[in-house]
């Protein structure tokens, strides 16, 4: 496979499992096109045209030094110049695939957060409430990424002549769908039952050995799950802490989260929402693995690095 084909496959896989459905994505892209058409010539010049085709602006091709047939990939959660040097040291790496966004992808992280409004709405939070509370948080994230050195790794890839892409929200979508399907199938009654199911997932099992397996952040093993919502697995980064109260009103009992900061935990506790922290790198790994398996199917060798717990579901079948 060529780099473009790998990247397009990631975007396609992300769309296929997106909680908004294909129709939802098409509507979103159509709206972006309509907005673009209304821009002045100067504004059009500055507009990121990729937004017209790609619903995941946090996932990008950063550098193609050599457009080769990809046989060997170095894949990791956070790619920094150290990982690029690692690739050089290993040798024969045709492409590096990062999970977390870099460069332009990082600059546009806030763009994918609207997805959270639709996910919350799917679980019963009125769309006006979700959009109202997320608006503030989305602009906070958009401002927050400005302080980062966004181009550092991309620049290093250019200097070293390394092919570099990232796959963020498409992979997180795959993890979210995997968890949703599993939980709907198993339908756990109590938190302890839910924990048992989560701990059977290979990435979480591995993470447990390293000391960062799934944990109950709020709630207790005996409590009933109620409606379980997968609201904190995909959609860029943390939503708004003001949402928990609204989730409780929408009959959500338990949420699965990748990671959660203290302020959010307190708000969830006050709203009597049970929160399970599945684990950050392990959840990121789950989504990446579901994508990387498709590359493995096409005879591409995957070398994991930077926190990626590589589990192949093909090896087991």
| Site for Fe ion, rule CB under 5 A | 284
Least distance from Fe ion to the Cβ atom of residue 284, Å: 4
* Dihedral of alpha carbons 78, 84, 85, 91, sign: positive
Q: What Cα–Cα distance (Å) separates residue 298 from each residue in 2, 51, 71, 261, 285?
A: 11, 29, 9, 39, 20
How do beta strands 95-98 and 72-76 pair? parallel
Residue whose CB is less far from Fe ion, 98 or 191? 98
Residue whose CB is less far from Fe ion, 94 or 232? 232
Compute the distance between CA of residue 243 and CA of residue 228 in angstroms, rounded to an integer. 15
Least distance from Fe ion to the Cβ atom of residue 211, Å: 18
- Which of left, alpha, beta for 69 (phi over 0: left; psi -120 to 50: alpha)? beta
Residue whose CB is less far from Fe ion, 257 or 274? 257
Least distance from Fe ion to the Cβ atom of residue 56, Å: 14
- Within 17-97, residue ranges assigned H as helices are 21-37, 41-46, 81-90
Length of the chain: 317
- Measured at CB, which residue is nearest to Fe ion? 284
Residue whose CB is less far from Fe ion, 83 or 284? 284
Residue whose CB is less far from Fe ion, 55 or 279? 279
Compute the distance between CA of residue 162 and CA of residue 94 in angstroms, rounded to an integer. 8
Sheet holding 227-232, edge to edge: 215-218, 274-277, 252-257, 227-232
Residue whose CB is less far from Fe ion, 24 or 307? 307
Least distance from Fe ion to the Cβ atom of residue 137, Å: 17
Q: What Cα–Cα distance (Å) separates residue 27 from each residue in 19, 21, 24, 55?
A: 14, 10, 5, 10
Least distance from Fe ion to the Cβ atom of residue 99, Å: 6
Least distance from Fe ion to the Cβ atom of residue 207, Å: 13
């Amino acid at each position: 496979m060529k780099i473009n084909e790998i990247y397009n496959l990631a975007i396609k896989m992300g769309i296929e499992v997106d909680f908004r459905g294909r129709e939802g994505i098409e509507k979103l892209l159509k709206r972006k096109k309509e907005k673009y058409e209304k821009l002045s010539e100067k504004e059009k010049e500055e507009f990121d045209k990729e937004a017209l085709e790609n619903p995941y602006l946090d996932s990008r091709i950063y550098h193609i030094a050599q457009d080769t047939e990809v046989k060997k990939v170095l894949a990791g959660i956070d790619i920094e110049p150290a990982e690029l040097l690692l690739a050089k040291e290993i040798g024969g790496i045709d492409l590096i695939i990062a999970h977390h966004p870099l460069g332009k992808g990082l600059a546009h992280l806030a763009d994918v957060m609207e997805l959270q409004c639709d996910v919350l709405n799917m679980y019963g939070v009125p769309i006006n409430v979700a959009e109202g509370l997320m608006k503030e948080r989305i602009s906070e994230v958009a401002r927050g990424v400005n302080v980062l050195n966004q181009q550092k790794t991309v620049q290093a890839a250019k200097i070293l002549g390394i092919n570099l892409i990232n796959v963020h929200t498409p992979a997180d979508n795959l993890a979210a769908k995997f968890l949703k399907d599993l939980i709907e199938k198993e339908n756990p009654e109590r938190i302890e039952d839910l924990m048992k199911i989560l701990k059977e997932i290979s990435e979480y099992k591995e993470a447990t050995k390293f000391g960062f397996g799934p944990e109950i952040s709020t709630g207790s093993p005996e409590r009933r799950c109620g409606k379980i919502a997968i609201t904190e697995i995909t959609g860029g980064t943390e939503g708004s802490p003001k949402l928990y109260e609204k989730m409780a009103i929408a009959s959500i009992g338990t949420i699965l989260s990748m990671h959660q900061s203290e302020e959010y935990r307190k708000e969830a506790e006050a709203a009597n929402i049970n929160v399970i922290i599945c684990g950050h790198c392990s959840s990121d790994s789950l989504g990446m693995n579901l994508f990387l398996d498709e590359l493995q199917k096409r005879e591409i060798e995957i070398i994991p690095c930077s926190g990626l717990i590589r589990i192949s579901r093909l090896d087991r079948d």
